[in-house]
Amino acid sequence: MPKTPEEAVPGTSQPERERNFLLAFWPFFRPYRRKIAGWFLIYGVYFLGGILTPIAVKFYFDSFLPSRQMHRIWVFAGMYLIYAFALHVFYFFGVRGTVRLIESVVADLRLAVYEKLHRLTIRFFDKTLSGEIVNRVTNDTRQLLNLVGGELVNVSLQICLGVVSLVILIVWNTRLAAVVLVFLPVYVWVFRRFRPEVRRAARQWRKGEDYLWGNWGEKLKGMALIQAFVKEKSEGLKHHKYGHSALDRWYRMAMLGTQMGILSGATSGISNHLAYSLGCLLVVEGQLNLGELLSLTAMIGYIIGPVQGVFNLVGTWQQSAVSSDRILKILEEVEEVRQTEGRLKRVGKLKGEIRFDHVSFEYEKDTPVLSDISCLIGEGRKAALVGHTGSGKSTMMHLLLGFYRPQRGTILIDGVPTTEIDPRDLRRNIGVVPQDVVLFRDSVRANVAYGKPDAAEADIWKVLEAAQIDDYVKGLPKGLDTRLGGDDGVNPSEGEAQRLSVARALLTDPSVVVLDEATASLDSEEEGRLQQAIGELLKGRTAIIIAHRLSTLTQCDLVVVLERGKLLEQGNPAELLKKPDGVYAGLYRAYYAAGVIRRG
CATH classification at residue 552: 3.40.50.300
* Residues 250 and 395 occupy one common structural domain: no
> To the nearest whole number, what is the mean pLDDT of the chain?
77
- pTM score, two decimals? 0.65
Q: C-alpha angle with apex 487: 484 to 491, nearest 5 degrees?
A: 35
Average pLDDT over residues 236-258: 76
Helix/strand/coil (H/E/C) assignment for every residue in 322-384: HHHHHHHHHHHCCECHHHHCCCCECCCCCCCCEEEEEEEEEEECCEEEEEEEEEEECCCCEEE
3-state helix, strand, coil in the chain (%, to 5): 65, 10, 25
Say if 348 falls within a structural domain: no
pLDDT band at residue 6 using 50, 70 and 90 as cut-offs: very low
The answer on pLDDT for 490 being more than 80 is: yes
d(CA 9, CA 26): 10
d(CA 289, CA 441): 74
pLDDT band at residue 1 using 50, 70 and 90 as cut-offs: very low
* Residues 362 and 432 occupy one common structural domain: yes
* Residues 324 and 362 occupy one common structural domain: no
Which of 333, 365, 392 delimits the end of a domain?
333
* Residues 428 and 514 occupy one common structural domain: yes
Name the most confidently modeled range: 212-216, 311-315, 327-331.
Answer: 327-331
Model pLDDT, residue 43: 72
Range name among 190-194, 422-426, 506-510 with the lowest pLDDT average? 190-194
- Say if residues 480 and 444 touch (Cβ distance below 8 Å): yes
Per the model's pLDDT, the better-predicted residue between 474 and 20 turns out to be 474
- Write the single-letter amino acid at 428: R
Per the model's pLDDT, the better-predicted residue between 521 and 361 turns out to be 361
Per the model's pLDDT, the better-predicted residue between 154 and 492 turns out to be 492
Number of domains in the chain: 2
The answer on pLDDT for 227 being more than 70 is: no
* Residues 325 and 421 occupy one common structural domain: no
Range name among 64-68, 154-158, 474-478, 492-496 with the lowest pLDDT average? 64-68
Say if 346 falls within a structural domain: no
Model pLDDT, residue 461: 92
Range name among 186-195, 387-396, 398-407 with the lowest pLDDT average? 186-195
Could you read off the pLDDT of 47-56 as tens digits, one per residue? 777 777 777 7
* Residues 407 and 526 occupy one common structural domain: yes
Say if 265 falls within a structural domain: yes
Range name among 117-126, 331-340, 555-564, 567-576 with the lowest pLDDT average? 331-340
- Say if residues 198 and 338 touch (Cβ distance below 8 Å): no
Model pLDDT, residue 152: 65
Average pLDDT over residues 552-560: 79
**Percent of the chain beyond pLDDT 90?**
2
The answer on pLDDT for 580 being more than 80 is: no
Say if 160 falls within a structural domain: yes
Residues 6+ apart with CB under 8 A from 36: 29, 101
Residues 6+ apart with CB under 8 A from 335: 116, 119, 120, 121
Say if 360 falls within a structural domain: yes
216: containing domain: 5-333
* Residues 318 and 438 occupy one common structural domain: no
* Residues 26 and 95 occupy one common structural domain: yes
The answer on pLDDT for 518 being more than 60 is: no
Q: For the purposes of burial, counting CB atoms within 10 Å of the CB of 349, is it exposed (0-12), middle (13-18) or buried (19 or more)?
A: exposed
* Residues 451 and 583 occupy one common structural domain: yes
Average pLDDT over residues 432-441: 82
CATH classification at residue 318: 1.20.1560.10
* Residues 266 and 231 occupy one common structural domain: yes
Model pLDDT, residue 87: 76
The number of residues making up the chain comes to 600
d(CA 147, CA 113): 19
- Say if residues 137 and 143 touch (Cβ distance below 8 Å): no
The answer on pLDDT for 149 being more than 50 is: yes
pLDDT band at residue 338 using 50, 70 and 90 as cut-offs: low
Average pLDDT over residues 401-430: 87
Say if 544 falls within a structural domain: yes
